[in-house]
Chain A
């Protein structure tokens, strides 16, 4: 008991009693912002991964017989197969296209001028001259359209990266707000316990001795508040992971992967060390200013 005693009675400090709750709230928000940003980035990556590296060529068949349309489709596919960067070309004939449009046009599409489709796979990172492909295909099938999925996917991916950065920025701002709250609480405690710190200084205590007592106390508050906030956020994320559905769910390992759980588990310690070093910095700076 004798050695564990704190000379500054911070544990009985009414001003500091709310601090763990405030830290818990801040860490709850920081965990959600960080996890949200990472889940979004990962989900968009999974969602668009299947579309990147592909393009689709639409071959209109108006005024052609089926045989003619198939013949021209095969020629266009051969042209594409010879194009550098193209790894695979799959021709979707009339029957396959009819199945694709059946939900909208019904089963009986006889007499309708259904286009032929070419599903083209590209090498990763290949530089494809779309204009040249379009020109070559149109010499075979006038009016052919080339749809590049890469550009669409890249747009979504760029947007998701910005949202990811915004999420991290929000987490950072929340942690800064948490640090400012700790600074304010520490200064208030210093004012409340001014008489005690003065006596300690008068009997030869270094400022670092006084700071250490604040550090220990605030570290404990940061750990408790951080653990509570992280636990609440983890419960929420686990519930979302269990109940959420649709394309935003990551295809491998669920909504929250293991590595993200590990990252989330570090937040109580991040909070505790943030609290500790903020308190130390505040005490040393405030005492130095007193002169």
Chain B
């Protein structure tokens, strides 16, 4: 992929779930490589749907979505995992696997990518200490608080230094101090070249970090 090419491009994109109304309408934007954006909008504005299109969990009903230069409409099932390995996602509902420990959850992207051995454990443990979960590495997610689960989900999303990081309300369950700390982590990743998109309701965070916003309202885009 050409370095001047946007990492994500939406061109007049609409999306609807089966049988329902459009949740996104005529959305166009481009995310340059290495950019940092907040995705804002009220509940139901389509933020999660837009992120789903970027991490290839859905397809547009019309228009064109490009991720890393690939038109998502033409991707085969076999192509998708290779692209997803370059995308870290923090899901709103965390999607942690409860039969695995926190450490094993964080290590999943590395294991799926074929990494094995003690180095994986060291690398994962280091990151978990950084997000304040050193005491909970062997805990099952169901025994952790909402904020701790969220930090496990964030650690899992960033463990393999993705080229694109998508976070859906990543600070929704943590206090302000931890919220700031996580945003600094995202900034650090961004400085190392990761393109970051954070969907959030947290206006104070958006004001404080002052990055460009993509604002959705009623399924459409409000440029900011």
Q: Please list the residues of chain A having a beta carbon within 8 angstroms of any beta carbon in chain B.
A: 2-3, 5, 7, 9, 12, 195-196, 198-207, 209, 287-288, 291
Contacts and interface: CB of A to CB of B under 8 A. Distances in A.
Contacts of B134: none
Please list the 9 inter-chain residue pairs (A to B) with the smallest Cβ-Cβ separation, ordered nearest first.
A204-B85, A204-B84, A9-B99, A205-B112, A206-B81, A204-B81, A203-B109, A199-B95, A3-B116
B99 A204 contact: no
Contacts, number: 56
Interface in B80-133: 80-82, 84-85, 87, 89, 91, 95, 97, 99-100, 104, 107-109, 111-113, 116-117, 120-121
Interface residues of B, number: 28
Contacts of A291: 77
A3 B212 CA distance: 42
Contacts of A288: 77
A7 B104 CA distance: 9
**Which of B107, B112, B117, B120 has the most chain A CB within a 10 Å cutoff?**
B112
A202 B77 contact: no
Nearest to B80: A201
Given A12-B99, A206-B78, A207-B77, A200 B121 contact: no
B77 A7 contact: no
Contact of B156 (A3, A5, A203): A203
A205 B80 CA distance: 9
Contacts of B111: 7
Nearest to B156: A203
B104 A2 contact: yes
B121 A2 contact: yes
Contacts of B117: 3
Contacts of B116: 3
Given A7-B111, A205-B112, A199 B82 contact: no
Interface string B49-92: 00000010100000000000000000001101110110101010
Contacts of A206: 78, 81
Contacts of B82: 204
Given A2-B104, A5-B100, A196-B97, A202 B78 contact: no
B104 A202 contact: no
Interface in B164-209: none
A200 B112 contact: yes
Nearest to B77: A288
Contacts of B121: 2
B112 A203 contact: yes
B82 to A, nearest CB: 7
B55 A202 contact: yes
11 contacts: A3-B117, A5-B104, A195-B95, A198-B95, A200-B108, A200-B112, A201-B80, A204-B112, A206-B78, A207-B78, A209-B112
A202 B117 CA distance: 23
Contacts of B120: 2
A203 B108 contact: yes
A199 B81 contact: no
A7 B89 CA distance: 18
